[in-house]
Structure 1
Amino acid sequence: MDQALARLVDQVRTARSQGTALDIRGGGTKAFYGGVPAGEPLDLRELAGVSSHEPSELVVTARAGTPLAELEAVLADQGQCLPFEPPRFGADSTVGGMVAAGLAGPARAAAGGVRDYVLGATMLNGRGEVLTFGGQVMKNVAGYDVSRLLAGSLGVLGVICEVSLKVLPRPPATATLRFELDQAQAIGRLNEWGGQPLPLNASAWWRGTLALRLSGAAAAVHAAAEQLGGEAVDPALADAFWNGLRDQRDEFFAAARAAVDAGATLWRLSLPPTAPPLALAGDPLVEWGGAQRWLVTDSPADTVRGAAAAAGGHATMFRGGDRAGGVFAPLSPALARIHRELKAAFDPDRVFNRGRLVPGL
């Protein structure tokens, strides 16, 4: 065990023996997400570095404190990428935070989410034990897939120390098309196109404009662009748009942050892609073929959550709002029991990130 990991183990064991809590931190770029955790900071930035990269095997292993930019640079040198496009909320974003938050960018509906690419992980549990799950190949799991369970857990189960990820080659061709449609028309078109053999990779609708990204073999992208029509977007402008959307620094999210500062709430709604536009006040943005919808609104939390539930989905208070009242949709009794039992198995003394994912847990 190296010194950086040994120091973390000592901190965890000390906190457990003293009955205190720890707030797991990497670069701090996602501190706004989830509830407000209790405890002293447990800094993972020293636990950094790309441990191994096997380009021919499409596998990379990196420690939790590794800057996401460093990992992506290593992959780019080999023409590879993280296809789920994790949001980079700043230069300090880390690999551990990427997995713990479980957030994905514009390509999520086509490429899959973070947990779909986690092959294995090493974690530090609440007893101060270093555990390893999974491996470096896809078919490596017998029993419960704990390594993927860590994706989106926000650190409540333990400290992610190192992860192995499947990566993919960068697509040989991309193209972005623009269409002038209202929200209902855009959702209808996206679902119609989604049922066809088209190389759809990402979509975004906002204020009457639908942007559609095609990705794959050059011949397939060219044929799809000819079939769909619309207005072709200059590649440089398209890259800037999709990167801005991925990192939440484009026009919509800039306006959203200003509105949040003035007292509004930015909601992330997960809905069936065929769900019609919701009758909610505010400014919406539609992604993932209609399955992810952002909403900036002053409406009460119960109103937003009720509308999302009625449409067959749920709503997350992403930025702003009363985080003490619960950021994520309330759990059913069965799911709440599973959460409690998992927490008890990995962190029985509630050392890590109290209240970050579920109030009181």
Structure 2
Amino acid sequence: MRTRTKGIQLAGDGSRSIDKLYRGERIYERLGKVSQDEAEAWLRDRQAAIDAQRENDLRRGDQQLFAAAAQKYLIECQRRGVRSLETISYHVTILLPYIGTMPLSEVCNETMEGFKDDRADDGVKNSTINRSLEVVRTVMNRAARVWRSDGKPWLASSPLIEMLDEKEQRRQPYPINWQQQAVLMMLLPSHLREMFLFAVNTGARDDNICRLRWSWERRIPELKRSVFVIPAEEFKGKRPHVLILNDVAWKIVEACRGRHEEFVFVYRRERVKNFDQAPAMAYQPVATMNNTAFQLARKTASLERVRVHDLRHTFGQRLRDAGVSEEDRALLLGHAIEGMPQHYATATIERLVKMANRANTARDRTTVLRVVNG
């Protein structure tokens, strides 16, 4: 049954639906049991959205709003499977109140000053502000070099977006010593303890540890162990990296085997009572090691300066202290060097395992393995 507003239908059960042709576009939605006023408000909002879209579609390239350009960029990132899509979306979200309704022709270094000042007043570091500015710069570059309307670029040229100085605020690496490692390990839950110890014995980055997959494992029968080949799209250097496991890291991997079909490092909430019943939750991957448990542990240990990435620095420092050559350290840590192979012969892997084992001195190794064994 039609109502007082054309396009809004009232069903016998009191539910309302909308079926209306507006500016050549069909609007259809089942709203359920809502009031007439609510249905009319929904229809007005939808019509306003169509009007705004039509207005934007009629804009010339340089008059396209930054919000529309940012949306186009996010869609491209999604189609390409960009790993940092969620992070880029976050930066777009905080940028929109400042430049979202601004035509691209007006976006420039000066228009970003208010955003920079407000973020700095909120205590945000220059490095984080720069990540947002990099998103602006990328959108503007694509508008000038990639996107076209009637064969012409959206922008004649991309404006200069200046980055803030990060050097003064940059934190120096803080590799931990063996005593600090032991203290932190005792304060971490079991799943983080394994990941922590894996990090200081492989130098792997946080995201590679959290996303480490069994499908990346490659068996080396001659050595009776495995390596993990991290694919290029998952590695910071955009090239495959062979992750070498020393004795401690290999023992951790073996302990994790069988918990989850896809991921090596996983977590589940265990029961605190009724232990004869199944676990309360299934295993699931850990999003990041830098979670509440890690932050609480380092605070309790008075080691607030320690970041997850410092575990990588710790591995590198211990290799250097043990006399491992610069070339072998680069191979173990995945640093880019000229002529670096993407896959290693068995003999090379055997040598690198021995070099990785040097990260643990004879004096300290007993303590490390005791922690692994609980």
* Greater share of residues in helix: 2
TM-score by length of 2: 0.24
Higher relative contact order (CA 8 A, sep 6+): 1
TM-score by length of 1: 0.24
Which entry has the higher C-alpha Rg, 1 or 2? 2
* Greater share of residues in strand: 1
